[in-house]
Structure 1
């Protein structure tokens, strides 16, 4: 075979392999998108919050992120998570004044019923640490899904520098069970309960209300999910020890402070 034909064959082979890889990646993206949409629909269908509360949570989150970024001048690394008008602040800020400023900013936003300020005065975490946190969130969600007699859809999971924060409208028994599950996930250093507790009768009523809510195919339902995790890659710091070889991480309750639930007309 001539050198020209060999070169031409190599070029064609490279092009075919490249096109195949691109097609596979595209198809994989489609599958992930469909899976996320399907999973999101299920989350909306069983969410114990009202649709009004879900909408307000998103509005609060957008305002808080924007105002905190402006107020702190881009310093630090602040995450804002909102569930049923309760705001959780996690991340790192350069000093105590910045931590209090973020708290004050959130307190000035309408419809915020409570604030849990878990910001740490510390250097900002690096990309590897944040990737690890994303991976931990996925592992905790998976563990909650696998737990018997517990609906993972009632929990919102937030990981920050190895600490896991659990939010949701749950009964005391559900909260204790969920926290115990999260505490046994490898890599979790501590679990903080940020729950809003409801009575079992309220849980039954919420389930009935969710069953009559718009289906996942409706625009309102399709827009609601915001915590679907796909493609998480473990960081080097994640422990690979089996669950039964890792002692449970400590579990504590969050320090909840009142917000400013007024509504400006």
Structure 2
């Protein structure tokens, strides 16, 4: 039997996405961040390997199914997987539910780390969601207009005016993307969930068809700033990042995520 190619695997994953999306009830309090059917052309423009892209689609599908199993009326969670690193945003009714969501998602196959930004409180209003959609579009447009970074290397997620930047980039690109997002009117805070690579690693990844992510599991992690020191690892689960050059910046968490208040 012939082994499916990466592109075939990706197309099969997209088909599964559409099938599962059609089978889930419409009332499920869940958003799967990247599981919308997309063209296979994204393989060529994405810094992730095609295998990582397939895994991210699969992680979001399985995460959606798992949260559907444990969901209650107060659970409104968005799941986004990028290079096998999962960002959770949204609201739940209790701290126990917040922790449970993070633990359950961490248990899924191929998940390297979980950044749990779910908060305890009421769900977002329609006005909140509309504003978040507007801010996401505004940040993306500003990055495209900047011309000095490759905007498609970043995934932008906005939750209650907090902009999350996910991606694989050099430190210069990460700092530039952060500055652009912080300059958009209405953004209250910028959180970077970015995997830093060197220029040499980036060039090698582009030649080989994407930067591969190891499958090494990592513990559930929060983006809440902490006083403990960052890991010295440059790849797993997240690299340490220096604070942005401004005053009153929260220190980096021990998972390498930097929370950066807007000027």
TM-score normalised by the chain length of structure 1: 0.64
Distance in structure 2 (CA, Å) of the matches to 1:61 and 1:142: 26
Query: In the alignment, does 2:110 pair up with 1:111?
Result: yes
Which residue number in structure 1 is paired with residue 188 of structure 2? 189
Higher helix share: 1
- Give the whole-Å Cα distance in 2 for the aligned partners of 1:79 and 1:250: 26
The within-5 A match list for 1:111-260 is: 111-210=110-209, 253=252, 256=255
Q: In structure 2, how many angstroms separate the alpha carbons of the residues matched to 1:42 and 1:149?
A: 23
Greater CA drift, 120-129 or 78-87: 120-129
Q: Which has the higher contact order (CA 8 A, sep 6+)?
A: 1
* Alpha-carbon separation, structure 1, partners of 2:70 and 2:254: 23
Moved over 4 A (4+): 39-43, 247-255
Give unmatched runs, 5+ long, in structure 1.
Answer: 1-36, 212-246, 258-265
CA RMSD of aligned residues (A): 2.7
Name the CA shift for 1:153/1:40 in 2 (closer, same or farther; >3 Å).
Answer: farther
Aligned to 1:23: none
Contact 1:193–1:251 (Cα < 8 Å) also in 2: no
Contact 1:192–1:251, Cα closer than 8 Å, also in 2: no
Gapped regions of structure 2 (runs ≥ 5): 1-36, 211-245, 257-263
CA distance in 2, matches of 1:196, 1:57: 15
CA contact (8 A) 1:163 1:190 kept: yes
Count of paired positions: 186
- SS at 2:112 equivalent: strand
For normalisation by structure 2, the TM-score amounts to 0.65
Bigger Rg over Cα: 1
